[in-house]
Amino acid sequence: MISVEEALEKLLSNVEVLAKEEVAVLDSLGQVLVEDVYSDIDVPPLDNSAMDGYAVRSSDTLGAGPQSPRLFRVIDTVAAGSISESEVTAGTAVRIMTGAPVPNGADAVVRFEDTDEVSRQEISGGKPITEVGILCEAGVGLNIRQAGEDIRRGFRILAEGTVIRPAEVGVLASLGRNKATVISRPVVAILSTGNELVEVGQPLPTGKIYNSNSYSVAALVRRYGGIPRMLGIALDSEDSLVEALRRGLDADMLITSGGVSVGDYDVVKDVLAKEGEIGFWTVRMKPGKPLAFGTIRGVDKQGAPRRIPHLGLPGNPVSSMVTFEMFARPAIFKMMGKKNWAKPTVEAVLEDGIVNTDGRRVFTRAIIEKREGRYFARLTGPQGSGVLTSMSQANGLAIVPEDWAEARPGDIVRVLMLDWNEEVI
Ligand code: AMP
Ligand code: MG
């Protein structure tokens, strides 16, 4: 048996970072930038007002206060998106809205609340006022956002290697960019094997079960940024498997589920050995002991031969999801050019006991809660690798190390977080 780390290292050494592509800015969410992004504009482009108020010369407000207003002549009004042609000179003010460029001559904006505008408007009966009293002293630059204070023309704004999050999508848009050059998303072909499997949406004959693995695996692929390609179900026969596999040979990675243990019908390993180079491992983890990994002979877009990484997950629904998290997720991240593929972990106080019978690393489905500043982990219930609802109830995988024969209530264990939700944070 090899360790989780050894298995991951072997797998990742067979997985390459994909080529770059240009995509619409919104579609780049979660992808890795492969260009340094420079700005050819200032953001904001002009000095502009941070408040609704009056643009004035700050020196004219000296001595102003609630009891000693300074009177200004209102010479113009300017809204965001317009430019005032008026120049602010001694004793004059331009009424200005948030985001509007500051008119020439002005060096401060006094917000409406620090003027007597409201009482004057009451007197004028809603007609535009021609004079306003300023009720505070305004320092130079008050309520003015300077041109380029966010983004300066000519500067590098985003570095190659940045993972695009919503904020980066927004930053690219604020530069006027509608495209980004990023590392491609891997297309992951997904094939479930088993004579017992029936496609969802069909009636369920006696003795059969629905194919859930294709769906949980495809959902994981999508969650981690890949593009799932469903190859459907293959029977436990060489012909059926070969036929199905050939439909996925232009993908960036192939994931199968089932057929990798030592049962009579576990033909995946024989077929894959013929179609490529296949390694079979027993990994020191529970669930997920039997795992296949190899490369399959395929062709690239130009028809040249290439090798496609293949990950053969165990068929049990929990095992396939847990081994996906441990192996397929890092592979997808590597292909996408991400540098950090560790899952977030916390230390938690265990509330249930767990036995570890054969020296494997045990990943138990757990509900993690934070109480009085500490994390607590309790098991979801029955931990059989066929109990898929245990994954659905869990927000984390509590880990019992290989060299622990058991974990007792009160022990501190490491937990891989599957989700961070409000209840945990
Ligand atoms: P196998 O690894 O093929 O021996 O399968 C192990 C267990 O997982 C068996 O009970 C299978 O019926 C079940 N199983 C295999 N593939 C799937 C699938 N795609 N969806 C749901 N259960 C599956
Ligand atoms: Mg099977």
The set of residues, in sequence order, having a beta carbon less than 8 Å from that of 264 and lying 6+ positions away, is none
The number of beta carbons lying within 10 Å of the beta carbon of residue 177 is 16
Alpha-carbon distances, residue 165 vs 153, 259, 275, 329, 406 (angstroms)? 22, 38, 39, 18, 41
In the structure, what pLDDT confidence band is assigned to residue 267 with cuts at 50, 70 and 90? confident
Q: Is the CB of 288 under 6 A from ligand 1?
A: no
Give yes or no for a contact between 266 and 285, defined as CB atoms under 8 angstroms apart.
Answer: no
Q: Which ligand is nearest to the CA of 255?
A: 1
First-to-final CA distance of the chain: 37
The one-character DSSP state at 358 is: S
Q: How confident is the model at residue 278 (pLDDT cuts 50, 70, 90)?
A: confident
**Alpha carbon of 266 to ligand 2 centroid (Å):** 6
Q: What is the pLDDT of residues 114-162, one digit of tens each?
A: 999 999 999 999 899 999 999 999 999 999 999 999 999 999 999 999 9
- Ligand 1 center–CA 287 separation, angstroms: 13
Does ligand 1 lie within 6 Å of residue 320's CB atom? no
User: How distant is the alpha carbon of residue 260 from its chain centre?
Assistant: 32
Q: Which atom of ligand 1 is nearest to the CA of 193?
A: 16
Nearest listed ligand to the Cα of residue 199 = 1
Q: Whose CA is nearest to atom 16 of ligand 1?
A: 315
385 lines ligand 1 (CB under 6 A): no
Q: How remote is the CA of residue 260 from the centroid of ligand 1, in Å?
A: 10
**Residue 413 to residue 359: CA distance in whole angstroms:** 16
Rounded distance between C-alpha atoms, residue 74 and residue 76, angstroms: 6
Count of other CB atoms within 10 angstroms of residue 343: 15
The Cα–Cα gap between 419 and 317 comes to: 19
| Ligand positioned closest to the Cα atom of 195 | 2
Q: What is the pLDDT of residue 274?
A: 86
Rounded CA Rg of the chain? 32
Q: What is the pLDDT of residues 366-391, one digit of tens each?
A: 999 999 999 999 999 999 999 999 99
What does the pLDDT read at residue 280? 73
For residue 318, report the distance from its CA to the centre of ligand 1, in Å. 10
For residue 217, give both structure tokens: 């695996």
Q: pLDDT grade, residue 422 (50/70/90)?
A: low
Q: What is the pLDDT of residues 45-89, one digit of tens each?
A: 999 999 999 999 999 999 999 999 999 999 999 999 999 999 999
3-state secondary structure of 418: coil
State the distance from the centre of ligand 1 to the C-alpha of 22, rounded, in angstroms: 39
Place of tokens 């669930």: 287
Atom number, ligand 1, closest to the C-alpha of residue 290: 2
The two structure tokens encoding residue 177: 């960019």
The residue among 171, 169, 61, 162 whose CA lies nearest residue 106 is: 61
Which ligand ends up closest to the CA of 194?
Answer: 2
DSSP secondary structure of 279-300: EEEEBSEES--EEEEEEEEEE-
pLDDT for position 272: 79
Ligand 2 center to 260 CA (angstroms): 8
**Average pLDDT score over the chain:** 95
The pTM score is 0.93
Answer yes or no: is the C-beta of 290 below 6 A from any ligand 1 atom.
no
Q: Where are the alpha helices (DSSP H) in 183-304?
A: 213-223, 238-246, 268-275
Q: Could you tell me the maximum CA-CA distance found in the chain, to the nearest angstrom?
A: 96
Q: Ligand 1 within 6 A of 314 CB? A: yes
